[in-house]
Amino acid sequence: MRTYIVGNWKLNFTVGEASIYLHKIMKSLPNYRDIQVIVAPPMMALQPLSLQVDRHKVKLCAQNAFYRDYGAFTGETSFSQLRGAVDYCLVGHSERRYIFHEDDKVIAKKVAAAIRNKITPILCIGETESERAFGETADVIRDQLASGLSEVSDDDVSKVIIAYEPVWAISSVKSAKLATPDEVAEVIKLIKTSLGDIYGAKVVDEIPVLFGGSVGPSNAGGYLTVPGVDGLLAGGASLILSEFVDIINVAKRVRS
Ligand code: PEP
């Protein structure tokens, strides 16, 4: 399986800045065939960037989209409108769950809408600090996984990517801490077991599972050697050219 390195730019960069930054990323990268580099710019930049991007080097990802294709949904952008412009879309990122109150039903509909529109959903799941403290991590992970995939058929499940992002390790969270590779390993194992329970052991190896949470060049290698981790999702570090490129180069070194 290829190694996935995803950069989530969140609400950063104007369209012009995003275009220059993408240009710099592409210039700094060789064409690593075994590393799939993906960036998630803000919505406004997706259309112009889709005309600029060299898809052999970098693929585009939306940060969010709405599950209905059209209609009276003021302010929303649909997966059908993004079709052709992006190859991936984040779904269920913790900032969508906790700031914008997206619940599991909405997230499940978004995962299904992405697949319907030939966009690969990157389903983000992860426990909060208090859920971990109360020993609820396994339940939260199993529930978010099962409900997020509840509208996905057996035939389609291999079109999904899972990203494990413990909310307490995301750099924008005030009390963020680094997850240890052992903590990551435990949850990745649980995710694989849960996927096997729902869809059968055969598909487990077809579904990439990424890790995200304050990933940077200095810890990327450690996370990428955790059994079952197929790639990384970086937020803050993906906004700094040298750090993002270093993460990709670490991935190339560790995984080749
Ligand atoms: C994220 O927002 O998905 C993320 C992992 O952010 P950071 O790398 O900044 O913790």
CATH code of the domain covering residue 38: 3.20.20.70
Asked if the model's pLDDT at residue 164 lies above 90, the reply is yes
DSSP labels, 71-89: SS-TT--BHHHHBTTBSEE
- Domain interval for residue 111: 3-255
Amino acid (one-letter) located at 109 = K
Task: Please say if 136 is a catalytic residue.
Answer: no
CB 89 within 8 A of CB 64: yes
Catalytic one of 17, 93, 95, 136? 93
How far is it, in rounded angstroms, from Cα 53 to Cα 231? 21
The tally of domains found in the chain comes to 1
Output the CA 179–ligand 1 centroid distance in Å: 12
Q: Write out pLDDT tens, residues 195-214.
A: 999 998 888 999 999 999 99
Asked if the model's pLDDT at residue 28 lies above 90, the reply is yes
- Of the residues 98, 162, 172, which should be mutated to test ligand 1's pocket, given the most ligand atoms within 8 Å of the CB? 172
The DSSP bridge partners found for residue 163 are 124, 210
CB 151 within 8 A of CB 110: no
How far is it, in rounded angstroms, from Cα 244 to Cα 25? 8
Q: Write out pLDDT tens, residues 70-118.
A: 999 999 999 999 999 999 999 999 999 999 999 999 999 999 999 999 9
The DSSP bridge partners found for residue 111 are none
Output the CA 237–ligand 1 centroid distance in Å: 8
The DSSP bridge partners found for residue 36 are 4
The residue whose C-alpha atom lies closest to atom 2 belonging to ligand 1 is 235
pTM exceeds 0.85, yes or no: yes
- Model pLDDT, residue 174: 78
Interhelix angle 241-255/15-28, rounded to 10 degrees, is 40
